[in-house]
Amino acid sequence: MSRWFLALLLLALGISGLAATKVLHIYTALDVDEAKIYIEAFQQKYPDIKVEWVRLSAGELLARLRAEAANPQASLWLGGPSDTFIVAKMEGLLAPYKESLGWQYLPAKFKDPDGYWVGIYTGFIGFASNKDYLEQHGLEPPTSWYDLLRPEFCGKLSMAFPYTSGTGYTRLATLVFLMGEEKALEFEKKLSECIHHYTKAGSAPVTEVGLGEVAVGIAFSHDVIAKGVAKGYPVVLSFPKEGTGYEIGAMALIKGGPEPDLAKIFYDWMLSAEAQSLYKKWFRVPLNPEAEVAEGLITAEMVNLVEYDALWAAENRDRLCELWQRTTGY
Amino acid sequence: MTRKRVGAGITRPLFCLSRSRAVQLIHDPVLLTVIFCVFALIGLLVVYPLVRVFTASLFQRGAFNPRYFLYFFEGRPYLLRPFLNSITVGVLVAVIGTVVGFLFAYAITRTNVPGKSIFRWIATFPIISPPFLLALSAILLLGENGIITKWLFSRFGIRWSIYGLPGLVLTETLAYFPLAFLTLEGVLSGIDPALEESAMDLGASKLRTFFRVTLPLATPGLAASFLLLFIRSLEDFGNPVVIQGRYPVLTVQAYLAITGMYNLPLGATLAILLLVPSVLAFMLLQFWVGRRSYITVTGRPSTAGLQTTEPYIKWPLFAGLVTLSGIILLFYGMVFYGAFTELWGVNHAFTLDNFRYVFSTGASYLVNTLKLAGIATPLGGILGTIIAYLVTRKDFPGRRALDFLAMLNFAVPGIIVGMGYVFAFNTPPIQLTGTAAIIILVFIFQRMPVTIRDGIAMLQQIDPVIDDAAADLGAGFFRAFRRVTLPLVAPALVAGMAYMFSACVTSISAVIMVVSAKWQLVTVALLHEVDNADLSQAAAYGVVIIVVVLGTIFLMDFLVRNLLGRWRHAR
Amino acid sequence: MPAELVLQRLTKIFRGRGKPVVAVDHVDLEVGKGELLTLLGPSGCGKTTTLRMVGGFEIPTEGEIYLGGQRITHLPPQRRPTATVFQSYGLFPHMTVFENVAFGLKVRHLPRAEIRRRVHEVLQLVGLEGLEDRPPGKLSGGQQQRVALARVLVIRPQVLLFDEPLSNLDAKLRVETREHIRRIQKELGITSLYVTHDQAEAMAISDRIVVMNRGQIQQVGTPQEIYLRPANAFVADFIGRASFLQGKVVAKIGEETEVELNNGVRLMIPYSFAFSPGEKVKVVVRPEGVDLVDPQEACDLVGTVVLAQLTGALAHYRIMLDSQETVEVEVLGALEKGLLAPGTQVGLRLHLKNLHLLPA
């Protein structure tokens, strides 16, 4: 009888130890629906490589990498704002891949000089507003950061926690670049009194605006279009005139990952025009100039962008997040 | 003549090392080994992870630094607020849930309202429900843009927000009142009808009898259900994640601290703040109210007792039953409805796309979950039964300690169990993160208290003289357990395992930190859908989980009824 | 008879929330090979606890147990060569009669054919052949009892332990079954330790009886010894019924003892007691050791009937003496003589050789 027990336990442990052949493990901060598109396309092109992937928001992903540093469970990190990649590079969690052709042709501001990460898309922080709510109250979509504090919107905002979401942190860093650290934290404090709630994932506010649970949400423009407007929700996109932040979505090899060669194949493919043409479905702005773009896509020229120092943002991430937490009490 | 049965009446201090009991153990090496192994398992897989959570909150980089505890006592909001909020919600849910559960139980056991079995079934449904769903429905119905909210506003101009305290209390009461109901149903049907009858025989009115006889006798059950609901509410993760709004609670904040900020000391501190009230309540429950008031989900108490047929009592209670059942059906109905809509809340065109999504992207999650739960359940069932057997039938030094420790995870919120496992098994010598094993172990050791509890209840129904006879005739531990005890508890064990399986499948807070790229679980997938506010897909996941769980339970029930033949008439 | 089972200073103290309870208090006992020794006493006297310690179901706080020269004090039940017939039988409800009886043999890994042979043999011995395939739930109480007996006999233990095996049976069945048990025990010659609170049962089947009270042995002896010469008032009153008359020893003359009762009556008892002249004593009078006669005739005592009951063959009387002491009297043949009415004056003629003396 005890033999049975032992056998079952061994079986259970054994299952976990089974290593499959030609399996690539990816962590992605992209939305599940979105990541699926790219991963499935990759698997169609390379049918002998099976991809197993987990979706985590940027902060969670970084935390996971830190936790697994001694024994990484995945080989490639796909998507998410570059600041988290910079932090990861500083902590020695990434492996460089300068040899990639894709990396080589990109302009300097879209990649890590030492080859530890590479930009694959860009996006801009914007406001999503519920059309029905605006109509009912005779309002225009917000066009300034300070609009958010107006009584018509106060209490009906949602946005992501800076410490769990890349979107959230980019927002916080943008405000710092716009107003200076002290003023930015003051503003965030006022904002925290006006929010309906904070979300864990960066793009959740869009759907919440779509459902009418909140009136205004802060998210990346491609999320606003892809998850809001394109899906059929009554959502309208606007930008703050003072200036908004942007992200460079990046990709990198995880140091010590179990299948570095397979990861490199994906890496190269992701930088190709073929792959980045798939961004159309998600309204992302590709960084490969030969990729096809979605119709009506918002590009960098259309928006007022602040000077976003990604390196500073990365270096000060933990400190800023803790300050934010102390200031707002969340 | 009643005989003093050692182990079920003699109380000894927690660590009584009686020389004579220890000496007898030496002469029974098999039993000694089994006890030792069980202690080792419990020590490694229940106590050690908890210890690691403690040390994580008290030490930073090797130095003693209970920073966040000091901040807590200073009153820093991001520590104090979640704590006060969790306690507030816990108390409210416990009180309201107990009252509702009591009224429900009273209606079922003491009146002759029609449709009892339907009501009973509906009332116990939330126990097997996957997480998040109640909160999702609450938003759909009562959120800012909810169906009912809009209607109320247009009709009566009333505005409210379901987010935060109201939403938490509503969803958690709905989720946990079944536990109160089952406890109190057992208690009420256990009251000797002769007591109430003689009170009335002596001239007391129905009301007086109720307040002077019934209610006082039910008090242990009321206290038990209060404490039970308090513990469950504290550990709730699924509902707060969706609906806490600006009202943070400890479970979610601890989770965010660890996974979002990788701030282990903060997360561990929040975890300890959550653990302390929960364990205190559990100890109260164990020692004050006693084991007899535990409910087993598998027990079927009789409905003996005085029946109230007065219309002025019966029909209001009936109305209450209908209302409550209606609310539950409405909430879950919304989930079923939403699973078939294109874009829940906006476009309600019928579609099967969500299910296609679940069975394509989510197929591996589903399969993994079933696989892992399927391995964990029999292992947990057998181990739990062995522990129940040791604790009720054998006497040895440390028996009471084993009893307490094995049941400890009943009071430890799932999020802390998961956290402890990540801290404890992240590095060599035992490195299990990323494997299936860690998920299986979390399933087993988090859910085992229920099987132990059920096991103890089952064993208490079997005359201990049968075990004596088996030993007397020469059977050692394993033979006696296998040939005599197991066949007699098998029917109840199988039924209990159905519930353990469903508990594993619907588990979220314990497993959320131990899932990995290779081993994903369907509740975590559900959480991601909720995170992204992809509600139709979330609903589809919910429906699939419900169907799987119900299917398992019916299957087990069928097995017990029809295929366990001879073993069943053992009584 | 060489001793098979030896209990040495056996003690059991239960420690609970209140005061510790001394259930068995330094008991010394020896059971001879093939003997049936009965532990007899009221509830709570420690007899069952003693039995359970011998069986291994309780662990002694102090003392030792030897079986066949071997120390078994701390062995678990499965390693002791004892077998118990429990009060509630403990039959395995999910097994048939055959499987129940075969259980002990299976544990000992006997071959199947041998098991079948032995089981049939023992079922015949107890009179249950033909019932092999019945589940215990479908048997009568008496049949269940015999299955329990068969189950322990078949493994041929060194010592048989009986824990009030007949208390769940009705009166007639009890008498039949105790004969049955005694017969088998004598036939097979198995050393047996028997526990009961029913003194008639104990008297009927035992080789020797141990009377216990409050954890201590009051007296050990054959049924006759215990009945005729109880060692103290407790034993005297527990076995059979007894009336006590106060008095003092006047003289010891050879094998006789002269006693003067408090009311002055002198009795010459043909037995040498260990009392000295002048010592106060209680005279133990058994109800069947008194004849009732007309008060005018020669008699030892005179009294008034205060209670008269007919219980079948016997008439039971309570007679009140002048000294306000009462004497219980049982008389055979009330049917013929007619029942005396309460209030009747009677004379009591005592059977002197059946009188016994105890310290006052």
Grouping H, G, I as helix, E, B as strand and the rest as coil, residue A305 is: strand
Same domain, yes or no: B36 and B102: no
Token pair 């210890």: residue: B51
Give domain status of residue B309, yes or no: yes
B343 CB within 8 Å of a chain C CB: no
Q: What is residue B564's predicted lDDT score, i.e. its pLDDT?
A: 62
Angle CA B326–B349–A214, to nearest 5? 70
Per-residue HEC secondary structure of C148-211 comes to HHHHHHCCCCCEEEEECCCCCCCHHHHHHHHHHHHHHHHHHCCEEEEEECCHHHHHHHCCEEEE
Instruction: Classify residue B19: in a domain, yes or no.
Output: no
Whether B245 is covered by a domain: the verdict is: yes
Q: How far apart are CA A200 and CA B524, in angstroms?
A: 14
Strand B63-64 and strand C3-14: the pairing is unpaired
Q: In angstroms, what separates the C-alpha of B165 from chain A's closest C-alpha?
A: 13
C40 pLDDT more than 80: yes
Average pLDDT over residues B509-522: 83
What pLDDT, in 10s, does the model give residues B361-418? 888 889 999 999 999 999 999 999 999 999 988 888 888 889 888 888 888 988 899 8
Which residues, 6+ apart, have CB-to-CB distance to B455 below 8 Å? Answer: B384, B385, B387, B388, B389, B489, B493, B496
**CATH ID of C241-359, from 3.40.50.720, 3.10.180.10, 2.40.50.100, 3.30.200.20:** 2.40.50.100
CB contact under 8 A, C92 and B31: no
Interface of B with C in 452-481 (CB under 8 A): 463, 465-466, 468-476, 479-480
Q: Which of B246, B433, B532 sits opposite A201 (nearest CB)?
A: B532
- Is residue B286 one of the residues assigned to a domain? yes
- Residue among A9, A31, A59 whose CB faces B261 most closely: A59
Q: Is A213's pLDDT higher than 80? A: yes
C18/B contact by beta carbon, under 8 A: no
Residue B570 sits in a domain whose CATH number is: 1.10.3720.10
List the single residue in B139, B259, B371 with the smallest CB-CB distance to A60: B259
Q: Do chains C and A touch (3 or more CB pairs under 8 A)?
A: no
Nearest CA in chain B to C159: B472
B553 and B512 in a common domain: yes
pLDDT band at B6 (very low <50, low <70, confident <90, very high): very low
- Cα A79 from Cα A27, distance rounded (Å): 9
Chain B hits for C155, CB-CB cut-off 8 Å, are: 473-474
Number of domains in chain B: 2
Q: Per the domain annotation, does B14 fall within a domain?
A: no
User: Which of B259, B378, B383 has its CB closest to that of A63?
Assistant: B259
Domain that holds residue B334: 75-339
Looking at B276, B310, B339, the residue that finishes a domain is B339
Which pLDDT score, from 0 to 100, does residue B13 have? 39
Residues in chain C: 360
Over residues C182-210, the pLDDT tens digits come to 999 999 999 999 999 998 999 999 999 99
pLDDT, one tens digit per residue, over A107-128 is: 777 888 888 999 888 888 999 9
Residue B563 has pLDDT above 80, yes or no: no
Tell whether B374 and B522 lie within a shared domain: yes
Classify residue C70 by burial, with Cβ atoms within 10 Å: 0-12, 13-18, 19+.
exposed
**Taking CB atoms and an 8 Å cut-off, how many pairs form between chains A and B?**
160
What are A79-98's pLDDT values in tens digits?
988 888 988 998 899 999 88
Q: Do C75 and B24 touch (CB under 8 A)?
A: yes
Residue B551 main-chain phi, psi, to 5 deg: -60, -45
Chains B and C touch (3+ CB pairs under 8 A): yes
Q: Which residues of C touch B29 (CB under 8 A)?
A: none
Which of B343, B379, B534 minimises the CB distance to A9? Answer: B379
pLDDT value, residue B10 = 37
Whether A217 contacts A157, CB under 8 Å: yes
Q: What is the pLDDT of residue B309?
A: 65
Instruction: Work out the pLDDT band at B168, boundaries 50, 70, 90.
Output: very high
B313 pLDDT exceeds 80?
A: no
C-proximal residues of B, 22-51, CB under 8 Å: 23-24, 26-28, 31
Same-domain check for residues B118 and B55? no
Cβ–Cβ below 8 Å for B145 and A233: no
Q: How far are the Cα atoms of A34, A62, B531, C235 from residue A28, in angstroms, in the given order? A: 10, 11, 15, 89
Q: What is the DSSP string of B455-512?
A: HHHHHHTS-HHHHHHHHHTT--HHHHIIIIIHHHHHHHHHHHHHHHHHHHHT--TTTT
Residue B7, in any domain of the structure: no
* Average pLDDT of the residues of chain B: 83
pLDDT at residue A2 in the model? 54
In chain B, what residues touch C137 (CB-CB under 8 Å)? 569, 571
Mean pLDDT of A274-279: 88
User: Quick one: pLDDT at residue C35?
Assistant: 95
Rounded (5°) CA angle A180-A186-A189: 135
Interface test with B, best of C45, C50, C59, C101 (most B CBs within 10 A): C59
| Chain B residue numbers touching A231 (CB-CB < 8 A) | 343
Note the pLDDT tens digit of each residue in A134-183.
999 999 999 999 999 999 999 899 999 998 887 898 899 999 999 999 99
Confidence check: pLDDT of B8 > 70? no
Residues of A in contact with B341 (CB under 8 A): none
Question: Are B408 and B471 in a shared domain?
Answer: yes
Q: CB contact, 8 Å: B334 with chain C?
A: no
Assigned CATH topology for domain C3-237: Rossmann fold (3.40.50)
* Residue A187: pLDDT band with limits 50, 70, 90: very high
Q: Of B143, B202, B194, B144, which is closest to residue B170 (Cα–Cα)?
A: B143
Cα–Cα distances (Å) from C351 to B21, C184, C246, C356, in that order, read: 54, 37, 17, 11
- At B289, the pLDDT band (50, 70, 90 cuts) reads low
How far CA B103 is from CA of B106, B193, C145, in Å, comes to 5, 18, 48
What are the residues whose beta carbons fall under 8 Å from the beta carbon of C302, sequence distance 6 or more?
Answer: C295, C321, C322, C345, C346, C347, C348
Closest-CA residue to C38 (of C171, C168, C167, C160)? C160
**Which residues make beta-bridge pairs with C290?**
C350
Q: Which residues contact B114 (CB under 8 A, 6 or more apart)?
A: B318
User: In this predicted structure, what is the pLDDT of residue A21?
Assistant: 58
Name the residue with higher pLDDT: C152 or B489: C152
B487 chain-C contacts, CB cut-off 8 A: 94
Name the more confident of B514 and C227: C227
- Does residue B376 form part of some domain? yes
Q: Which of B312, B339, B366 is the last residue of a domain?
A: B339
Last residue of a domain, one of B282, B311, B339: B339
Q: Report chain A residues whose CB lies below 8 A from the CB of B78.
A: 325-326, 329-330
Q: Do B345 and A211 touch (CB under 8 A)?
A: yes
Mean pLDDT confidence for B242-250? 89
Gap from C15 CA to chain B (nearest CA, Å) = 7
pLDDT of residue A235: 93
Residues of B in contact with C152 (CB under 8 A): 472-473
**How do the domains of chain C map onto residue ranges?**
3-237, 241-359
pLDDT at B12 (0 to 100)? 39
3-state secondary structure labels for all residues of A93-151: CEECCCCCHHHHHCCHHHECCCCCCEEEEEEEEEEEEEHHHHHHHCCCCCCCHHHHHCC
Any chains having at least 3 CB pairs less than 8 A from chain A are B
Sheet holding C345-350, edge to edge: C290-293, C345-350, C301-311, C314-321, C326-332
A23-35 burial code (b ≥16 CB/10 A, e <16): bbbbbbbbbbbbb
pLDDT of residue B300: 46
Per-residue pLDDT band at B419 (split at 50, 70, 90): confident
Tell me the pLDDT tens digit for each residue of B45-68. 999 999 998 888 888 777 888 888
Q: What is the mean pLDDT of residues A23-32?
A: 88
* B511 in the same domain as B377: yes
Check residue B101 and give its pLDDT. Answer: 93
Any idea which residue has 């179901």 for tokens?
C57
Contact list, B35 vs chain C (CB under 8 Å) = none
Helix crossing, A166-179 with A58-68: angle to 10°?
A: 110
Quote the percentage of chain C above a pLDDT of 70.
99
> Which span out of A50-59, B3-12, B327-336 was modeled with the highest average pLDDT?
B327-336
Q: Does B488 touch chain C (CB under 8 A)?
A: yes
**Least confident window among A289-298, B144-153, C95-104, C301-310:** A289-298
CB–CB contact B566 C17 (8 Å) = no
Residue of A nearest to B372 (CA): A12
Q: Which of B28, B31, B473 sits opposite C103 (nearest CB)?
A: B473
What mean pLDDT is predicted for residues B163-169?
A: 92
C window 67-126, beta carbon within 8 A of B: 74-79, 82-84, 86-94, 103-104, 107-108
Q: Phi and psi of C5, rounded to 5°?
A: -120, 125
Nearest CB partner across the interface for A2, out of B375, B478, B535: B478
Q: How far apart are CA B96 and CA B162, in angstroms?
A: 17
Q: Is the dihedral of CA B336, B360, B373, B438 positive or negative?
A: negative
* Cα(A83)–Cα(A249) distance, integer angstroms: 9
Q: What are phi and psi of C153, to 5 degrees?
A: -65, -35
Q: Quick one: which of B497, B106, B411 has its CA closest to B228? A: B411
Asked if the structure places residue B311 within a domain, the reply is: yes
Domain identity same for B206 and B293? yes
**Nearest CA to CA, how far is A190 from chain B (Å)?**
14
> Does the beta-carbon distance from B487 to C94 stay under 8 Å?
yes
pLDDT band at B433 (very low <50, low <70, confident <90, very high): confident
Please judge whether B343 and A233 are an interchain contact, meaning their C-beta atoms are less than 8 angstroms apart: yes
* Mean residue pLDDT across chain A: 85
Size of interface B-C (CB pairs under 8 A): 104
Q: B395 and B307, same structural domain?
A: no
Question: So what's the pLDDT on residue B11?
Answer: 38
Whether residue B430 sits in one domain with residue B290: no
User: What is residue C22's predicted lDDT score, i.e. its pLDDT?
Assistant: 92
Q: How far is A107 from chain B (nearest CA, A)?
A: 31
Q: To which residue do tokens 């460089």 refer?
A: A96
A70·B532 Cβ contact <8 A: no
Share above pLDDT 70 across residues of chain B, in percent, rounded to a whole number: 90
